[in-house]
Each structure stands twice: as C-alpha cells, then as structure tokens.
Amino acid sequence: MKRAKKKIFADFIAQRGLKSTKQRDIILDSFLSSDRHLSIEELYLKLRAKHSNIGYATVYRTLKLFAEAGIAREMEFGDGQTRYEHVVEGEHHDHLVCTRCGSIEEFENQTIEDLQTQVAADRGFLIERHRLELYGVCGKCRS
C-alpha cells in the first residue's frame, strides 16, 4: 500500500510538472509510516529528529500537495490543529474521538450515510461531503 501511495504521488508530481525532491520523499515516507491522524506540527517535529534541515513550510506545503494528490485528507477535531489522515481508495469513514486520551477511532455506517442523503434530498440540498464525529470516552479510558 505504501508502494501504491508513492506511485500515486509520483504520478501526480509528473502530471503537474512538479519536481521530485528528497524532502518530498522523506516527508512522504514519514507520513506513510505514521499514525493515521497527524498534525503538521507533529510531523514536523518527528522529521526534525532525523532531518534537522527540513523546514516547517516545506512540511506544510508538502502535506497540502498530498491532499491535492488524493493520498491525504485534511481534518480538524476541534483542537485548533489541522490533521492529515491517510486516504484509502474508495473508503469513507467517520470518527470516534476520545475526549480523555485523544485517541481517534474510525467507523463506517452505510445506513447513517443513506439517511443523511435522504434528509438532504428532502430539502433540495445536494451533499458534497460531510463530517460526523462522535466525542466521548473510549473503552480503554472507561475501564
């Protein structure tokens, strides 16, 4: 899967006439082997540990590129930081966010999706995207 993502990004780069650089390679590598919901800051700090010469701006711009290339998605869970999550082809999911430990789980529910579409249709509204987040206490924190 990591291969596939790299391929997608390489194609994106080529198709847009952009350049392949070692910073982008490093950032992509690090992103792909990271937690599924990473903020710019977190990735930047992680990178600094090994590559002290990569700037915040580059991480910021590269993540934006990932989003444009379709291998990452921008998310925000109310802590004021934009997070980037890995995009899996054809998959859509919503989130369960633990307000104690901050962990983020994912879930899918087609029935909920269908109901959303119906609610919108009833009002002549055409849905482009949605966000559904459930905040609460995860199993681990409850026990």
Partner DNA sequence: GTTAAAGTGAATTCCACTTTCAATTGGAGC
Partner DNA sequence: GCTCCAATTGAAAGTGGAATTCACTTTAAC
List beta partners, residue 107: 94
32 vs 21: CA distance, rounded Å: 17
Extract the tokens encoding 107.
């879930």
131 vs 67: CA distance, rounded Å: 17
Helix 2-15 × helix 22-32 angle, to 10°: 150
> Which residues, numbered 28-87, are part of the site for DNA (CB under 7 A)?
39-41, 53-58, 60-62, 64, 80-82
100 within 8 A of 137, measured Cβ to Cβ: yes
Shortest spacing between CB 115 and a second copy, in angstroms: 5
41 vs 137: CA distance, rounded Å: 25
Q: Is 14 in the site for a second copy (CB under 8 A)?
A: no
| 138 labeled binding residue | yes
Return the residue matching tokens 């993502």. 5
Taking CB under 8 A as the criterion, the residue among 25, 79, 89, 133 binding a second copy is 133
Q: Is 126 in the site for a second copy (CB under 8 A)?
A: yes
> Which residues, numbered 60-89, are part of the site for a second copy (CB under 8 A)?
76, 78
Of 32-40, 41-49, 65-73, 123-131: span binding a second copy (CB under 8 A): 123-131
Q: Is 17 in the site for a second copy (CB under 8 A)?
A: no
Site residues, a second copy (CB under 8 A): 76, 78, 96, 98-99, 105, 107, 109, 111-112, 115-116, 119-120, 123-139, 142-143
